[in-house]
A and B are shown apart, each in its own frame.
Chain A
Amino acid sequence: MDFDVIYILWLRQMKRYLRSRSRVLGAIGQPILFLLALGYGLGSVYKRAGQGNYIEFLVPGIIVQTLLFSGVFWGIQILFDKRFGYLKEMLVAPVSRTKVLLGNAIGGATISLFQAVMIFIISAALGFRPHNWALVPVAFIIAVVLSVTLTSFGAGIASMVEDFQGFQGINNFLIFPLFFLSSALYPLTNVPTWLRILSEINPLSYTVDALRYTLINQSHFGLGTDLLVIAAALIASMAFAVNRFNRIQV
């Protein structure tokens, strides 16, 4: 099924990424900042409120943040390809656009995952310990699914917008709210009802929750619900990306 096409497009992404050191470092800078500033800045307050260790609570959220930002920002790559012509080269090739999309999205997902793993290692260096190491592979699989979901989403968005300003707008009105209105930074137990409702309709909350369950044995929704929402989000996001990508006119 033309794995060579998917592979070569994946390889292109890898080569580009690994040749650009600033990208590697730049992409993990923001999550590290969040982890340090919030983790240490709010940690004592969190503890005094009787909620336990905030850094431990925060790490799954920061891993999701890494996947969210790098996955969706990766959509900019598609936008670059659109603006600077390379997308044409891929789109008129005698292979299905779905495969072109898949090769690119898997490339983007690999990069996001790589960054998330780096954040995990840095967190471990700061003292973070998973509750049960046996569940870490499960957490990894959840991260894989989320990275594919988010890069597909990013590719779908990039297929729809024409310029970087448009992408920036989507970023401000969609990505930041998705992140801040999820359970990534705070527990949903004591928040006002409106915020709880917003967080509960946000699919990202369920991924954070699933990672929290597998990494620190805390859960708000229950793993079963989490996995259902995660699967639904994956399917919806891929369907959206395939649909948009197949309609691109260049």
Chain B
Amino acid sequence: MKSNLVIEARDVVKTFGEIRAVDGISFEVKAGEIFAFLGPNGAGKSTTISMLTTMLRPTAGKLMLNRHDVTKEQASARKSFGIVFQDPALEEELSAYENMVIHAVLYRVPKKEQLPRIQTLLELVDLWGRKDSMVKTYSGGMRRRLEIARGLLHHPKILFLDEPTLGLDTQTRNLLWDYVQKLRDTEGMTIFFTTHYLDEAEEVADRIAIIDHGKIVATGTTKQLAKQTGTKTLEEAYLELTGRTVRDETSMSNNGLNVRTAARNRRLS
């Protein structure tokens, strides 16, 4: 096992009943890499992130995070990462500041650094002036910004961002990626993110994996993907690899895991 790999997936499978949401995927992410995980709706992105972050158990295969097996050494694996969830996960009855403080304690931010970091991050996402307002009074965009600030609070070794920029304006997106790149440069943080904005992936990701129908269909840099498909941009390469059909999503359970109904899509495509 190479020592600079912080994420390793080997033949990972996740089934929900008869549906194979993730169908034998393997990939590696090196320390300090910004890795984009792209795919159409229901391709298996969120399921993969849920498994990587110990929220779901894989049906088969092996997942290593910072050299810890996520199914056997959950506690050590959890110490290695931070995550910004796709669905909001804020405590609405508390203020933004209180949300940050709880996170700082739960995620083991050293006591002395808690307040300065909270201030820096809330200023970064332009919420410092509203820090004492209850989150339930926040707009969608403000909530998103707060979640991002919260996800960055404990400077994790690996940061998972599940569609972090959904619903954000260009200014905030730029700010976010600047900050994320800075964290990578100064702290050697590894970033694993999903997005539907391909320009974003093209601009910030060192490497990209494209997943479709639960299988990884291509991995590489933007250039490699374009070359492989004989196209010029990431978007063209992406469409070449995943087709142009619009996908349906079926909610598999009540917890926001969206999985494509395989049979129906196969018929469509």
Binding site for B on A (CB under 8 A): 4-5, 8-9, 12, 15-16, 19-20, 82-96, 162-163, 249-250
Contact = CB atoms under 8 A, between A and B. Distances in A.
Contact of A5 (B92, B98, B101, B105): B105
Interface string B192-207: 0000000000000000
Contacts of A87: 89
Contacts of A96: 75
Which residue among B81, B87, B105 has the maximum number of chain A CB atoms within 10 Å of its CB?
A: B105
Contact of A15 (B55, B88, B94, B107): B94
Contact of B78 (A85, A93, A163): A93
Interface residues of B, number: 32
Interface in B136-162: none
B75 A5 contact: no
Chain A contact residues, majority secondary structure:
helix
A85 B162 CA distance: 14
Nearest to A87: B89
B171 interface: no
Given A85-B88, A85-B90, A250-B55, 15 more contacts: A5-B106, A12-B94, A16-B91, A16-B94, A82-B255, A84-B92, A89-B89, A90-B106, A91-B55, A92-B55, A92-B81, A92-B83, A93-B78, A93-B106, A95-B106
A162 B253 contact: yes
B85 interface: yes
B66 to A, nearest CB: 11
Contacts of A15: 93-94, 98
B53 interface: yes
Nearest to B105: A8
Interface string B55-91: 1110000000000000000010011010101011111
Interface in B37-63: 50, 53-57
